Amino acid sequence: MRSRLSVIAGALVSTIFGCSSNDVTQSTDMPDNAHASVAQQAVTAPSAASSHGVGKKLMIIGNMTDELVGTVTDDAIFIDRIAADVGGAKRLKVLVVPGASASPNYLYSYFQSVLPTRGVPIGNLALAHIASVDDSSTPNVDESTWTNGAYQPSEVAKLANASVIWFDGGDQSRLVNLMLDAKGKDSPFQAAVKARLAANNLIIAGYSAGAAVMSDPMIGGGTSWGALTLAPDLSTPSGSAANPCDAPDALCVTRGLGYIPAQYNAIIDQHFTQRGRFARTIRALAATKQKNGWGISEFSAFYIDLAQKTAEVVGVPGKAFVSLVGRDSAFQNSESSGLPFLGQNYTMSILGAGDTYTLPDANNPHGVGAHPIASDYYAPFSEYYSDNPIFTDAFGGQVLIDDVSAYFADGTPQASGARVDAIAFNVDETGSGSGFRFRFTADNQSQVAWNEDTGYSMFNARWKITTIKAQFTGLGP
């Protein structure tokens, strides 16, 4: 008999990571052919990393938490998986890019301690001097002088020796402003990264803000509640370090670095289940007319092989999940033209550790998720749980995993039909409440799977957003 797997919520931490030595800044006013020449050096320079192709891959990580799984950190799972693809730990050469961080020394220092425990020589770690904020932990270094680092030949040259570049967390718009100019044109460093990726010879890893930048357009900020109730901000960053997404709640969509090819019509969201961001993602898809939202939870990575057009979920079994949100068009999804934002007939799939994904194509515009063990599959609403309550904290931590996917798989249908409802609402002091209902239903394409080690997987649920109103008693003076 199946038992419900309780998933431990990760700490709601937006870790910020970075660097440790100084550099001399130069003007970014370089002719176009100089940009191309510097970028080409990073592709053609001989090195151990470029002597064999390491692949054309993106490891998109929800967050790095440094929590122990047995005797190693959960982050070691990501390191070990990449090391296997580059030919072993001794061939893993990591270039840290700290530009998103407000503490640009952290990731570099963290990797100095963690990588040797995974068999990676400390000499295989390097730091790109690309940052805009000084780190108080390095009093002899002013990282804020690295704002033009992406235009320095010395920094571009570091790419030639890297098999992996690793973007840290922090503020995704800060990183984009360092990698692109005011008109959105690639810096030499960005051009070199894209060239190495196109040459099938680079793995790009990034967590939190470093995950968000993988898509273009990019979610720059906002909450799920704000995304549904406030007009979105479709910002274009300036060339400065100012954050264009400075409103605390309104959805902000801006340009990203675009390592995910445009043909997949995808946008990334991170800390996905821990911060209840599924409504934010669907609103971002509508605002940008994209078709696919890929939401990465903490303890999780979506490891995409662009050459093979496949992906897999990597991370801590039972805690790693990637959520796939599908949108077709305003007509197909009956989206409202004004506020609040509403719609229906979206698809939602939740993949667990070890599950795979075939990237979207003309026949499958939302891609195809799959679970590796055929005997784990069964039909939704299998009636294992006798009740099927309405969950009242739709944007709370882990509601998609702990509640929606579990009851979508194992709940008993209500008298009026099989569904899972989660709601989110605000209540004023008079007891008047208003908010949203999120209803998940199944059709003949829907499936679920359950595994003792990895928990629930959910495929092709249907999702509808409506409004709710209620009156509560006992809340007055």
Express each pLDDT in 216-258 by its tens digit.
Answer: 999 999 999 999 999 998 875 433 334 567 778 999 999 999 9
Are 358 and 386 found together in one domain?
no
Are 362 and 393 found together in one domain?
no
Q: Which pLDDT score, from 0 to 100, does residue 30 have?
A: 47
Question: What is the Cα–Cα distance from 21 to 136, expressed in whole angstroms?
Answer: 13
Q: Are strands 455-471 and 343-352 parallel, antiparallel or unpaired?
A: antiparallel
Is 159 within the bounds of a domain? Answer: yes
Rounded to 5 degrees, what are φ and ψ at 371? -105, 140
Inform me whether the pLDDT recorded for 201 exceeds 60. Answer: yes
**CATH code for the domain of 258:** 3.40.50.880
Are 127 and 263 found together in one domain?
yes
Are 284 and 340 found together in one domain?
yes
Inform me whether the pLDDT recorded for 356 exceeds 90. Answer: yes
Are 271 and 134 found together in one domain?
yes
- Spatial neighbors of 153 by CB under 8 A, at least 6 apart, are 38, 41, 188
> Which pLDDT band holds residue 66 (cuts at 50, 70, 90)?
confident
Instruction: Kindly report the number of other CB atoms within 10 A of residue 70's CB atom.
Output: 7
Is 70 within the bounds of a domain? Answer: yes
The more confidently predicted of residues 46 and 460 is 460
Q: Which pLDDT score, from 0 to 100, does residue 40 have?
A: 56
Q: Which pLDDT score, from 0 to 100, does residue 366 have?
A: 98
Question: What is the Cα–Cα distance from 463 to 89, expressed in whole angstroms?
Answer: 43
Are 308 and 417 found together in one domain?
no
Q: Which pLDDT score, from 0 to 100, does residue 240 have?
A: 37
Rounded to 5 degrees, what are φ and ψ at 393? -135, 70
Are 265 and 409 found together in one domain?
no
DSSP code at position 249: S
Q: Which pLDDT score, from 0 to 100, does residue 20 have?
A: 34
Indicate the number of domains in the chain.
2
Average pLDDT over residues 420-431: 94
Is 13 within the bounds of a domain? Answer: no
Q: Which pLDDT score, from 0 to 100, does residue 26 have?
A: 36
* Domain around 75: 32-369
Look at residues 345, 369, 393 and tell me which one is the last residue of a structural domain: 369
pLDDT digits (tens, 9 = 90+) for 46-57: 343 444 579 999
Average pLDDT over residues 178-191: 96
Are 385 and 364 found together in one domain?
no
pLDDT digits (tens, 9 = 90+) for 12-61: 223 323 333 333 333 344 445 545 555 555 554 434 344 457 999 999 99
Look at residues 369, 399, 415 and tell me which one is the last residue of a structural domain: 369
Is 5 within the bounds of a domain? Answer: no
Question: What is the Cα–Cα distance from 147 to 471, expressed in whole angstroms?
Answer: 53
Is 12 within the bounds of a domain? Answer: no
Look at residues 369, 400, 426 and tell me which one is the last residue of a structural domain: 369
28: helix, coil or strand? Answer: coil
Is 101 within the bounds of a domain? Answer: yes
> Which pLDDT band holds residue 9 (cuts at 50, 70, 90)?
very low
pLDDT digits (tens, 9 = 90+) for 361-390: 999 999 999 999 999 999 999 999 998 899
pLDDT digits (tens, 9 = 90+) for 264-310: 999 999 999 999 999 999 999 999 999 999 999 999 999 999 999 99
Are 46 and 70 found together in one domain?
yes
Share of the chain above pLDDT 90, in %: 81
Would you state the structure tokens that stand for residue 225, as one six-digit string? 């509640």
H helices of 106-245, in order, are 106-114, 153-157, 172-179, 188-198, 209-212, 224-229
Question: How far is C-alpha 389 from the geometric centre of its chain's CA atoms?
Answer: 30
Is 10 within the bounds of a domain? Answer: no
Q: Which pLDDT score, from 0 to 100, does residue 46 have?
A: 35
Are 300 and 431 found together in one domain?
no
State pTM to two decimals. 0.88
Are 290 and 414 found together in one domain?
no
pLDDT digits (tens, 9 = 90+) for 78-129: 999 999 999 999 999 999 999 999 999 999 999 999 999 999 999 999 999 9
Is 83 within the bounds of a domain? Answer: yes
Helix, strand, coil percentages in the chain from 3-state DSSP, rounded to 5: 25, 25, 50
Question: What is the Cα–Cα distance from 78 to 94, expressed in whole angstroms?
Answer: 13
Are 200 and 55 found together in one domain?
yes
